[in-house]
Structures are given as structure tokens and as C-alpha cells.
Structure 1
């Protein structure tokens, strides 16, 4: 746990704690705002898709931006842009100037900075922890713990604040958290340098080429894309589930998202303690299969506290998959290629996420809730089986290996002079 004493990691975790709390409040407030002002699940799907669509469109070019600016400057740029963009949505609504096309435009612009920021926060980890993939996995687990803590607290706070001050006001609070993150990263983070390019890293698609040629990453991330489609479809279905089955109570909506966050927070703490002792590929393969099991119960109409338990069990497995996968991805690629590999991976995994939102928004207009939930469970299970098979084959060939190559030895940041 000595990694937590690193001042750079502590600053990143502090910034993400506040910023992601605001984002998770908005994850409740924004769909609720669209549902209550338009009454359309299809429009809700379009808004959610508009925020994720840039990840697919701009995720790969973001790698070049991070390599040029460095992770720290990229995070500052993302926060500086998102704060006024998020604040503009409620201001325009209150002044009567927020049309639906304009709402889509602002959510799209906010989403443009999602991939650069997320990738940069992960790229800092090897500078903090060194090249040991298990130490990087532990650092990733701490980042996941902060993420899941905010998924626990953010939706609860968001649901309560919607009742007290309205959904648009919650978006103003989110804008303020981006500003706070900007100040913390700018003031306290001393890592996240520019990456000097060589011939192997030149070109927009250098990271994608590396991923495609890698015998582990290619099948694993194709399966992860399918898993993400089902997961995003599930999250888009939850507000409609509350609207139709649980008396449109926004507090229950907040509790549902928080249940996933609580389970994932516990899973992050477990991951931080076991990634140093368990083969990373084995852990990810088993955990993703376990995540698929509780989804089948959601098709059953049951009291909302039982749904809380189902979502918590589902959330518990997420960091047990994500922490090992991010560590392997980060340490597997040569340092010069990392920004482009990480953004390519995020793009591959998330590119069909907006399609999940759109598919659910349209499906719920024409078929019943139970059919949609069963389809989500089946899709996630199929992706989990494919993912587990891919990592299983890699373990048989060479368990938990990092390919030999031009991976530089990097001392932890606290051991290097500023």
C-alpha cells in the first residue's frame, strides 16, 4: 500500500474523486432531465449516445494528442474545456434557449474529451509505479476504487439533489468539479511528460496496428467490445426500469447506480490486495464469467432492494477484470507506443457503446422490458465466454507474459528527480 504515499498518484486520485463524483451525478441527472422534459426514451438514448460517440470517432487520434502534449497537459485541457460546456446546458435551459439539437451538440463536445482524459490518467501509472505489471495493476485498482467510490456516492447524491434542487442544477455542480480537477492536476502532478516519437510510433494508426498484430490483445478486445455493448445497454435501461416498475422515483434510480458502485468499490479493494498474488489473465477470465451470471435475474419482476443486490454483485466483478487488463495493456506496449495503444484499446472497447444506448432506446419503444433485459444478459454472457477463451489461450501459450521488446525500464516517479 506504499504506492498510495506517492504525491503524484494522490493528486490524480483526489482530482478524480471530485470530478467523477460530479460525472456520476450527471449520469443520473442527464437522462432524468431528458426523460422528464421530453418523455421520450429514444431521445434519452440519443443524448447518451452523443456523449459516447466521440470516443469511437476521436479515440484513436487522441493518442497522438497525448503523445504530443503529455498526459498532464491533456488532462488539464480536458477539464478546462468540459467545465464551461457542462455549465452551458442548464444555463441555456433556464433561459429558454436549449433545443434538443443543441443539447446533442453540447453532450457530443463534452464526450470529445472523455477518451483523452481517461487514457492520460492510466498512462501516468507506469511513471508512478515502474514497469512491474503487478504494481501497475495495484495502481490501476486504486484508480478503480476511486471510480467505484464515486459510482457509489455520485448517484445517491445526484438522486437526492434532483429532488432538492432539480436536474439542471446538478449539471452546474458537475461543471464545478471539472474546474476543481483542473486546479489540482495543474498544481500538484509532476508526471505525465511528453513521449518522444520514433519510426514505430509514427502515424495515426500505430497503436491500432500494434493491437491488431498482438495475439492476445486482438481477440481479447474484440470480445470486450461486445461486452461493453451489453453493459452500456444495461445502464441505459436502468432509468426506464425505474420509470416503469418503481413509480418513477429518482431516489431509487440513484440507489440502483450506487449499488453497482458499492459492489465495484468492494471489488476494487479486493483487486488491490490480490493482483500481486494471482496471475492477472486468470483473474480477468474468471471474473468476467462471474459478472454475467446475475444479469439473468434482472428479467424477473422483483422488489427493488433485490435489484440492488443483483447490481452490486455485477459491479463487484468489474474491477477484477479492469485492473488486470489495464496493467497488461500498459506494460505490454513499448513506452513510445503507449499513448496510441491505450487510446486504440479504449476506442475498440467503447466504439459500439453508443450503439447499445441507441438499440435500447429504440427497443424499449417496441418490445417489453423483460425481452430487452434477457437480450442484454445473453449478449454479455456471449462476450464473457469469448473473452475468457481468448485469455485462456494466451495463458496456455505463455502465462501472463509481457512480450520482449523495446520496453524501457522506468523508475517509480518518487525515485526520480523532479
Structure 2
């Protein structure tokens, strides 16, 4: 692509669409449990809806990976956001026409999950094409994507909480649906170089085979699994339990905000540090994140927990974009969606496994401090392996030689392997 044909507008449209989509998703993550509990009067009902939605997201992720490779990442991302908007808006429509009950909550919660996670995977797959068509470094696009993610994670739940204090929960649903619809519009406007769909024989390639042929992608799977396995129990059980015992719900919200702010700063730091070394950002991020877990582990005064959460967010913002960049630069476009599906699906599965392991631990003790220390120790082992392993070194190093000709386009016109135009 010549310099005169570059379209820098692709980056703000791409990042804006991704951030608005996540903003809506993070808001509905607050609104839906509130609506379920206020409608049914049953605390366990919210857990049932969340479990059903989580289970449905796993197979949907694999289906979406196939569709990304056949139809193109932009098309799948747009359809996912429109589907998510429809599922969320249906909550208000059903409530108006028939009244919501647990069956409707499960059905519509599953429908939303079927679109939300696959939509995120499609946007990850689109990153390479955005970097190519805009002429912006892949590392910079990934940092901006991570920054938008962090900002949405920070603002979405906060605004949802404010709106719930002003409006009826069903009215807030319309707001979150509008966010997803807006995200679909922005993503549809992202310029991509059109190309014909991939041939059927190429679409039959195995995403798992692509992952196992690459030490770097295996490392990404292990790190993603470990991250979800340890941090979902920390965020969903240990910290809420700790601050409940302290009767300090405000500190729980502050700790989540500290994590999001740290992640936002880390994303900005990634863009700066990677001008010198991607490996430096990766190692520094893992070290800082590990240090943060040990600040949180004693579950002492609120200040230490807040500092630890900020450090964890900072570390995640520094090393989190690395595998998106590696995939954008190194995985052939016609299997990129399926490779990402395996990375995302293993993370989805790891969270419930971690929660189950924590439940077994807490069945014999009520010592949340012990649980936090085990979480910190487990993550430190995983982070050490991530730094020292050959796969980790390849993941954070320069892009390898493409496995297929670099000029071969994918469905969205992205090059089959990584050339970022800088």
C-alpha cells in the first residue's frame, strides 16, 4: 500500500468502536445482575444467569473464529455488536410485553454472551488490517486498543451505577444497547482493503494446529489461562469478601478503579517502551504485575490493596498487548480468527476452574489471606515461566519469518503475516 493510500482514520474508528463495545458490555455486566435480583428477588438467580452465559460463550468463540477466517473480521465484529444490542434491547421489550422471569433472563443472557466474546475476538483479528491500512505501527495500535479497553472498563461500571441510581434498570438497558449499536457503526466505517473470501480448503485448516506449531502461541495460551485462573477468583471472591468483612464497599470500588487506571497508564507506557524494546515492556509488565499481587496478598490496610491493584493494572497494560501484536504480525490471516479463538476460549474456561479451586480451598478454611497468598504465588510461578521460557522470548521478540507469502491477503485485506507500516 502506497503512502498516499494510507487511511489514518482507521485507528480512531477501530479503537473507538472497540472501546464503545466494551463500555456497553461492562455496563450491562452491572445492570443485568441488578435487574435479575430486583425482578426475581433471588440472589442465586444472578449466578445462574452468569453461569449459563459463560458456558455459552465458549462454543460461540470457536464458531466466531471460523467465521472471521471465512468472512472477515470486520463483518463478524459488526454482526456481533448488532446481535449484542438486539439481545440487550430485548430485555426491555420482553419486560414491556410479557414481563421478565428467570427463563427469559437465561435465554437473553446466553444470547448476549454468544455475541460479546466472539465480537472481541473479531476485533483482535482486525488489528493487523488496521495497522496495515493506516500506516501506524502495530505496537501503537495495540497500545491504543488496550488503552480504550482500560478506559471502558473504568467508566462503564461507574456510569452504570450512576444511571441505576437515577433510572429504572430497564431504562438503563436501552443505554447499553445503544452503546453496542454505536460500536457496530464505528467498526463498519473502519476502512479495510477488500479481498475475496478465503478458499474452502484454507478455511478447513486447524487453529489448534497453528497454536501448537508456535512456542510463542503456546506461551500466550498458558499465560492467558494462568491469568484468568488466578485473577478472576481474586476479583470476584477474595477482594469482595475482604472488603465485606471490613464493611468498606467503597474500597472495593476504589480498588477496581485503581486497577483500571493502572491498566490505562500501562497501555500508554507500552506505546513508549516498545519504541525501544517490546521484550522490555513484556518483562517489566510481568514483574510489576507480580509485585502487585504480593502487595494485595496480605489483605491489610486499604492503601496497600489499592497500590497493589494499581500495580497489577499497570503490569497488565504493559505486557497485555504483546500477544495481540504477535498474532497480528506472525499468524497468517486465513487462520488468525481460529488461533485467537483458542486463546480466548482457554481464558474463558480458566476463570470458572479457578473459582472452583478457590471454593474447594475455602471449604476447609475462611482465611482469605491464605487464598490471596496462594494466588500471588501461583501467578509469580506462571510469570517467571513466561519470562524465562523460549516461547515467552519468541512471543515478546521480533516477528518471525511468515509461514506463507507476506503478500497473501485475508478476507479483510490484511497481509497474511506481519508487516506493520511505520
Cα contact 1:283–1:320 (8 A) shared by 2: yes
Structure 2 gap segments, 5+ residues each: 1-5, 416-422
Distance 1:98 1:378, change over 3 A: farther
The secondary structure found in structure 2 opposite 1:118 is: helix
Q: For residue 190 of structure 1, what is the aligned residue in structure 2?
A: 191
Cα contact 1:227–1:380 (8 A) shared by 2: yes
Q: For residue 226 of structure 2, what is the aligned residue in structure 1?
A: 226
The secondary structure found in structure 2 opposite 1:216 is: helix
The secondary structure found in structure 2 opposite 1:276 is: coil
Provide the rounded CA distance (Å) in 2 between the counterparts of 1:228 and 1:99: 31
Provide the rounded CA distance (Å) in 1 between the counterparts of 2:312 and 2:164: 26
Number of aligned residues = 404
CA deviation after TM superposition for structure 1 residue 375, in Å: 3.5
What's the CA shift string for 1:180-219, capped at 9, x where partnerless? 1222333x2222756643577332x611111012122224
CA deviation after TM superposition for structure 1 residue 81, in Å: 1.0
What's the CA shift string for 1:208-242, capped at 9, x where partnerless? 11101212222441232122221222232267337
Once the two structures are superposed, the pairs formed by residues 2-401 of structure 1 within 5 Å of their partners are 6-32=8-34, 40=43, 44-89=46-91, 92=94, 97-130=99-132, 135-165=137-167, 167-186=169-188, 188-191=189-192, 193=194, 196-198=197-199, 201-203=202-204, 206-237=206-237, 240-241=240-241, 244-245=244-245, 247=247, 249=249, 252-278=251-277, 280-357=278-355, 367-368=365-366, 369-391=368-390, 394-395=393-394, 399-401=397-399
The secondary structure found in structure 2 opposite 1:130 is: helix
CA deviation after TM superposition for structure 1 residue 327, in Å: 0.5
Cα contact 1:158–1:254 (8 A) shared by 2: no
What's the CA shift string for 1:390-415, capped at 9, x where partnerless? 3576459x9534134214247999xx
Cα contact 2:69–2:333 (8 A) shared by 1: no
Cα contact 2:299–2:305 (8 A) shared by 1: no
The secondary structure found in structure 2 opposite 1:230 is: helix
Cα contact 1:282–1:392 (8 A) shared by 2: no
Cα contact 1:220–1:391 (8 A) shared by 2: no
Distance 1:375 1:57, change over 3 A: farther
Provide the rounded CA distance (Å) in 1 between the counterparts of 2:177 and 2:251: 24
Cα contact 2:217–2:391 (8 A) shared by 1: no
CA deviation after TM superposition for structure 1 residue 262, in Å: 0.6
Provide the rounded CA distance (Å) in 2 between the counterparts of 1:160 and 1:67: 40
Provide the rounded CA distance (Å) in 1 between the counterparts of 2:206 and 2:130: 25
Cα contact 1:43–1:361 (8 A) shared by 2: no
Cα contact 2:64–2:76 (8 A) shared by 1: no
Distance 1:162 1:367, change over 3 A: farther
Provide the rounded CA distance (Å) in 1 between the counterparts of 2:195 and 2:185: 20
TM-score between both structures, scaled by the size of structure 2? 0.82
Provide the rounded CA distance (Å) in 2 between the counterparts of 1:58 and 1:253: 32
Distance 1:76 1:349, change over 3 A: same
Cα contact 2:386–2:392 (8 A) shared by 1: no
Moved more, 314-323 or 29-38: 29-38
Provide the rounded CA distance (Å) in 1 between the counterparts of 2:133 and 2:231: 31
CA deviation after TM superposition for structure 1 residue 157, in Å: 1.8
Provide the rounded CA distance (Å) in 2 between the counterparts of 1:39 and 1:246: 25
TM-score between both structures, scaled by the size of structure 1? 0.82
Provide the rounded CA distance (Å) in 2 between the counterparts of 1:99 and 1:54: 19
Provide the rounded CA distance (Å) in 2 between the counterparts of 1:240 and 1:386: 29
Moved more, 84-93 or 327-336: 84-93
Identify which of structures 1 and 2 has the higher relative contact order when contacts are C-alpha pairs closer than 8 Å and 6+ apart.
1
Q: For residue 416 of structure 1, what is the aligned residue in structure 2?
A: none
Distance 1:61 1:245, change over 3 A: same
Provide the rounded CA distance (Å) in 2 between the counterparts of 1:239 and 1:101: 31
